[in-house]
Amino acid sequence: MTTRLRRRDLVALLALAALLLAACGNLEERSLCRQYEDVRAVADEIRALDPTTASTTDMLELLDEALVELDQLQASAEGLYDQAISTVRTNLLEFRQVTFDLGDEALDVALPLVEDSIVSTSTAYQLLERRLDVVCNVG
């Protein structure tokens, strides 16, 4: 009975190992693509942002989240998409600065500037997405 139990354990262990190896694929690519999903989600939120109804606090929180997700993507990418990521980061930081400087009181007056920031940030995201959609089989 002890031998039978050991064989069963060995077979189960080997089956588990085979499943884990099959599921892993290219670990670096899977990590990058998982992080890219989070970046896409926050990019979609920025695209859907309505500056006429959102407060500056809400926009700043979203932009801060976007910067965190972008940093995590860059760490996962290990230098492969630095230029595209830097372009997105620059646009996010400019958008954040515009939003921070305005405050809720001046938001109505500077609405075109905020809308321009949304468009330029969305465009920067699109350039990054074109490259990573292919790598991560999105679409």
**Interacting residues of 33 by C-beta distance below 8 A, sequence separation 6+:** 132, 135, 136
Nearest to 91 by CA among 62, 112, 72, 116: 116
* Cα-only R_g, the chain: 22
Average pLDDT over residues 63-91: 95
Query: Which class is domain 27-135?
Result: mainly alpha
Q: What is the dihedral of CA 29, 62, 97, 48, to 10 degrees?
A: 90
Token pair of 61 as six digits: 């929180």
Placement of tokens 């995590």 in the chain: 72
pLDDT in tens, 29-46: 458 999 999 999 999 999
Residues in the chain: 139
pLDDT at position 3, please? 52
User: Between residues 113 and 21, which one has the greater pLDDT?
Assistant: 113
pLDDT over 50 (residue 16):
no
The 3-state DSSP class for residue 137 equals coil
**Interacting residues of 107 by C-beta distance below 8 A, sequence separation 6+:** 51, 56, 114
